[in-house]
Amino acid sequence: MDELLRAWFSHNARSLPWRETRDPYAILVSEVMAQQTQVDRVAPRWEAWLERWPTVDALAAASPADVIREWQGLGYTRRALNLHRAAQQIAAHGWPHDLTELPGVGRYTADAVACFAHGRDVLPVDVNVRRVSERAGHTFTAASAQALMDLGATVCLARIPRCGACPLAERCPSRGRRYEPERKQGAFEGSFRQRRARTLRLVAAQELPAGDLDAEAVASLARDGLVRIVGATVSLPA
């Protein structure tokens, strides 16, 4: 199945800018950005980020406030602070062999950097890779990682897979099956996540009196280290 998949990938690969580099820092940034954000939104932001901070040392030297501002619009801003802390740790001590030692880096992200940057024989398993592997009933190799991700994102979809377009269909025991919709995250509109995002956006523009802001959102952001409260004023971390 690996050979069939890679043959399909050679003609159907998504054009993603971070696939043109082996720089572990650039790949780490792309993986963190794409954790909970659609890939088409990530690509231009990744390029802008690397233009501003082209190296891990450059990011490490940035202020948390600038990092938060640059991240605006990508959501889940704690990822930005973790990425910044990871850069500081790398700048001070070098890249650890196991990247899960870095702030905010889990098993998948660590394996993705190991595979795509260092060429290690480890398959990073995200939701797409897991779904294709389970449906196909096949253990794929690390050489098929990018192809698995693209097949899962464009053909072997979560609810209604496009089996007619799948290169693995003839050998797939799950061909033609429909699936229950996966549980989705609650709507953003009107949610507490939206209140947090709105409050952080206001504070990113300028420090403001706490009384002018959503108190519950401010408290939540402060717990995550995304804002600081000094007296009666709320601002980004220094």
Instruction: Report pLDDT for 177.
Output: 85
Domain that holds residue 209: 192-235
Residue entry with tokens 């009107």: 190
For residue 230, being part of any structural domain is answered with yes
Last residue of a domain, one of 60, 94, 116: 116
Instruction: Report pLDDT for 181.
Output: 62
For residue 162, being part of any structural domain is answered with no
Both structure tokens of 152 = 């899962």
For residue 169, being part of any structural domain is answered with no
For residue 132, being part of any structural domain is answered with no
Instruction: Report pLDDT for 185.
Output: 62
State how many domains the chain has.
2
Last residue of a domain, one of 73, 99, 116: 116
The C-alpha atoms of residue 128 and residue 182 are separated, in whole angstroms, by 13
Last residue of a domain, one of 116, 151, 181: 116
Question: Is 180 among the residues known to form the active site?
Answer: no
Instruction: Report pLDDT for 183.
Output: 61
For residue 227, being part of any structural domain is answered with yes
Instruction: Report pLDDT for 94.
Output: 96
Annotated active-site residue in 31, 134, 189, 216: 31
One domain, residues 196 and 112: no
CATH number at residue 63: 1.10.340.30
Contact of 8 with 147, CB cutoff 8 Å: yes
Strand partners, 230: 233
Instruction: Report pLDDT for 37.
Output: 87
Strand partners, 208: 234
Residue of 149, 79, 90 lying closest to 116 (CA atoms)? 149
The C-alpha atoms of residue 181 and residue 175 are separated, in whole angstroms, by 17
For residue 215, being part of any structural domain is answered with yes
Task: Show the low-confidence residues of the chain (pLDDT under 70).
Answer: 181-186
For residue 139, being part of any structural domain is answered with no
For residue 160, being part of any structural domain is answered with no
Q: Which amino acid is at 65?
A: A
Residue of 224, 216, 236, 185 lying closest to 78 (CA atoms)? 224
Both structure tokens of 194 = 């939206």
**HSE toward the beta carbon, residue 43, CA cutoff 13 A:** 8
Instruction: Report pLDDT for 75.
Output: 86
